[in-house]
Structure 1
């Protein structure tokens, strides 16, 4: 692997979740194309991108800051999932799946942040 972030389990999981979010937003109504669909996709991508960007050869404090950004974006994804569920764009089962996956990812991000202290 050429880049350090590729070895991180949290990056691998966030990449997979980002791909899965991309697949479900394609099923949203066209009226959501430039609102909820775009917002949730950008937030899911932001989790992954912040992990990768923070993993550059820099200080632990800087990496921790980017992990905080990733965790915040994860909360944005979950909030968008609530909106999608409430609008019946996703099933309760899909919502639960993503909610649980992002909850676990957040725990992993927090554990990595704590290990940097």
Structure 2
């Protein structure tokens, strides 16, 4: 069992989630049930799945939860590109979010590879 609050991937993904919420607060009201909701749910699922997975008794179970976090990360990657296409975010915002998300994905993948299954 891992202490999720001590994991850098959890800390970083939690901050990233806050960035997503800040960004989507500027989206048009018509997107509240669309892209805003999707991005919020996907960003919350990353630190949430890390926390839930860390409570599992086996590394195999934890690894499965980390796999779900990667799925959510790639979902966010697609959604921020769509937000950019729709001109909801600037190129600079896109690049900043993409850079941070790429780092989180690398960290999750590396951590997952260290788990003895």
* TM-score for the superposition, normalised by structure 2: 0.95
**Which deviates further from its counterpart, 3-12 or 36-45?**
3-12
Shift of 1:57: 4.2
Q: Structure 2 unaligned runs (5+)?
A: none
Partner of 1:49: 48
Shift of 1:58: 1.2
Partner Cα distance (2:23, 2:107) in 1: 24
Aligned pairs for 1:1-117 (under 5 A) are 4-117=3-116
Q: How large is the Cα RMSD of the aligned pairs?
A: 1.0
Partner Cα distance (1:50, 1:79) in 2: 19
* TM-score for the superposition, normalised by structure 1: 0.95
Q: Structure 1 unaligned runs (5+)?
A: none
